[in-house]
Amino acid sequence: MSLPPGSLASATLAVAALVLMVAGGAKLRSPGDTARALRRAGLGVRPWMVRTGAALEMTIAVGALTARSTWWASAVALSYLGFAGFILVALVRQTPLATCGCFGEPDTPPTLTHLVVDLALAVGATAAVLVGPEPLARIVLDQPAAGTALLAGVVVVAGLCIAALTALPQVQVEARRAGDAVLGPHATRRAHR
């Protein structure tokens, strides 16, 4: 039995919502890095403001995961467009950030990969807006075998997105440090251009 039309769009929305929920939870728990990153970018943000925004992110994510509503899907898409805008500005201005603060972790500077992932998640959420989202739980209940496979795929893809936004920048930072230790900082900077 095949999945109903729009299932792929609903799955991409679920991926975006799960990543948003994890990021919101991380910022709720540890808002300092995000507040510092936003202040370095010229925004006067305090940790309590980051926590408020993180709670809003989590609310949007839960709404997108549970409701059959284009409003929640639109809110997810707009969230990622906002994140992408921040990353783009940081990259263009070459704002020296040790972390973008998205997951409340050190050594996760804004990267081109981060921008691409944010834009891809925005497009996925927008696709759900266009076709009308169906909560993943409804798909799983209606078609347990195919729906469960779809759910597993959503969890794997969300995990890969989170790894691309957290682990990959940390690996890049460590590789750059190792290169600096071996070749000297000037040689490594020239090699990364």
| Side chain identity, residue 191 | A
Q: Which residue has the tokens 């500077």?
A: 109
Tell me the per-residue pLDDT of 118-150, one tens digit each, with 9 for 90 and over: 999 999 999 999 999 888 888 888 889 988 999
Each as own residue / partner, the long-range contacts of residues 34-37 (CB below 8 Å, 24 or more positions apart, any chain) are 34/100, 34/101, 34/102, 34/104, 35/101, 36/99, 36/101, 37/90, 37/97, 37/99, 37/100, 37/101
Q: Measure the CA–CA gap between 42 and 188, rounded to whole angstroms.
A: 29
Average pLDDT, the chain: 86
Token code pair at residue 145: 């075998």
Average pLDDT rounded to a whole number, residues 95-107: 69
Q: Are 164 and 113 in contact (CB under 8 A)?
A: yes
Q: Which residue has the tokens 């050190």?
A: 106
The residue extents of the domains of the chain are: 7-192
Secondary structure (DSSP) of 2-20: PPPTTHHHHHHHHHHHHHH
Closest CA to 128 of 65, 85, 56: 65
Structure pTM?
0.85
Taking CA atoms, 41 is separated from 9, 104, 119, in Å, by: 33, 16, 20
186 burial class (0-12, 13-18, 19+ CB within 10 angstroms)?
A: exposed
Tell me the per-residue pLDDT of 11-30, one tens digit each, with 9 for 90 and over: 999 999 999 999 999 999 98
Decide: helix, strand or coil at residue 99. strand
pLDDT above 70 as % of the chain:
86
Token code pair at residue 115: 């921008």
